[in-house]
Structure 1
Amino acid sequence: MLTRVLTLLLLLGLSCTVESYAQPLTRNVLKGACEKLVVAGRDVSPTCGDSIVNTVQGRRTSFDFTSSDGTTVSFSGTGMPQDRQEEVGVDALQPVSSVILSVKAPDGGITRDTLMTVGSCRFPAAAPGRSTVACTADTQRGRFEGTFTTTSDAAPSK
């Protein structure tokens, strides 16, 4: 009897573990214009790419900004419900708890640093057919910022 109970508990524990890792990954590539990219307090906006990636897995969401030198800055949060911020002119505010900095070395290797932070991504009002993502975060290595406005290929509706 004890063996059956232990086996059942083991299987239950394994199923919970598998379920937590089996959460689907959603990855959206958004095309548009990068308006600002600041890496550790240094403005590198001219090198910012023409797309950002929004990744959602389970309760975690991130916005990934890239530069032409291979650097990627990911603003990542728990995916907590967005706070409405109408009183300050911002549609919503997504908390950010870490910045993941990936830097490509000249030899092709990639160094990845996870920096704990206090920050947010906000989604201010934009023109019809467009949306803006503006992320800021302060870390022990300095300030990180990214602002990106998407473009729509669809013709405006009449």
Structure 2
Amino acid sequence: MLTRLLTVLVLLGLSCTAELHAQPMTRNVLKGTCEKLVVAGKDVSPTCGESIVNTVQGRRTSFDFTSSDGTTVSFSGTGMPQDRQEEVGVDALQPVSAVILSVKATDGGITRDTLMTVGSCRFPQAGPGRSTVACAADTQRGRFEGTFTTTSEAAGK
């Protein structure tokens, strides 16, 4: 019985992995200004990078914020349709179910922790030619936040 259960779990895992690999990944690098980066409750905004990465693969989507010390905070959700939130002054809300924390060690190795969470990335209204992504999530390791504003090159012309 145990062997049969383990076999089913292995096959289920392989089928999920095959499905994930079969789906193409879209990766967009957005340039602009990082306004806020909080890692496990600690404000590290001065170290935040000048770009964020938006990745979409299958049903998952993430927004990745980086700091100058090599730390990356990924706010990841199922890619469910964004909910319009006009009554609270927010254009849309993207649910976040995990924060993936990647920390670069002094020896060059990278440690990754996947933290389950309930959170969201929202897209508040910004000025013409600008867009903002504001993510926040509470985890067992503390609060994670990231706010980033992009500026369209066409807006300055």
Same fold (TM over 0.5): yes
**Size of the alignment, in residue pairs?**
144
In structure 2, give the amino acid aligned to 1:117.
T
**Residue 95 of structure 2: SS of its match in structure 1?**
strand
Q: Is the 2:62–2:76 contact (alpha carbons within 8 Å) kept by the matching residues of 1?
A: yes
Shift of 1:15: 9.0
Which structure 2 residues correspond to residues 41-52 of structure 1 after superposition, within 5 A? 41-52=41-52
**Residue 154 of structure 2: SS of its match in structure 1?**
coil
TM-score (norm 2): 0.87
Q: Report what 1:93 is aligned to.
A: 93
With 16-25 and 54-63 compared, the bigger mean Cα shift is at: 16-25
TM-score (norm 1): 0.87
Which structure 2 residues correspond to residues 75-154 of structure 1 after superposition, within 5 A? 75-154=75-154
- Give the share of equivalent positions with the same residue, in percent: 90
Deviation string 1:31-88 (CA, Å, 9 cap, x unpaired) is 0000000000000000000000000000000000000000000000000011110000
Shift of 1:156: 5.8
In the alignment, the residues of structure 2 paired with residue 16 and residue 32 of structure 1 have an alpha-carbon distance, to the nearest angstrom, of 36
**Residue 130 of structure 2: SS of its match in structure 1?**
coil
Q: Report what 2:60 is aligned to.
A: 60
Unaligned runs of 5+ in 1: 1-13
In the alignment, the residues of structure 1 paired with residue 15 and residue 75 of structure 2 have an alpha-carbon distance, to the nearest angstrom, of 31
2:35 is the alignment partner of 1:35: yes
Shift of 1:21: 2.5
In the alignment, the residues of structure 2 paired with residue 17 and residue 113 of structure 1 have an alpha-carbon distance, to the nearest angstrom, of 19
In the alignment, the residues of structure 2 paired with residue 47 and residue 15 of structure 1 have an alpha-carbon distance, to the nearest angstrom, of 40
**Residue 106 of structure 1: SS of its match in structure 2?**
coil
Q: Report what 2:9 is aligned to.
A: none
Q: Rg bigger for which structure? A: 1
The runs of 4+ residues in structure 1 deviating greater than 2 Å are: 14-21
Q: Report what 1:3 is aligned to.
A: none
Shift of 1:153: 1.1
CA RMSD, aligned part only?
1.8
Q: Is the 2:93–2:123 contact (alpha carbons within 8 Å) kept by the matching residues of 1?
A: yes
Deviation string 1:2-28 (CA, Å, 9 cap, x unpaired) is xxxxxxxxxxxx999745521010000
Gap change, CA 1:80 and 1:108, over 3 Å in 2: same
Shift of 1:154: 1.4
Deviation string 1:103-156 (CA, Å, 9 cap, x unpaired) is 000110000000000100000000111100000000000000000000111146
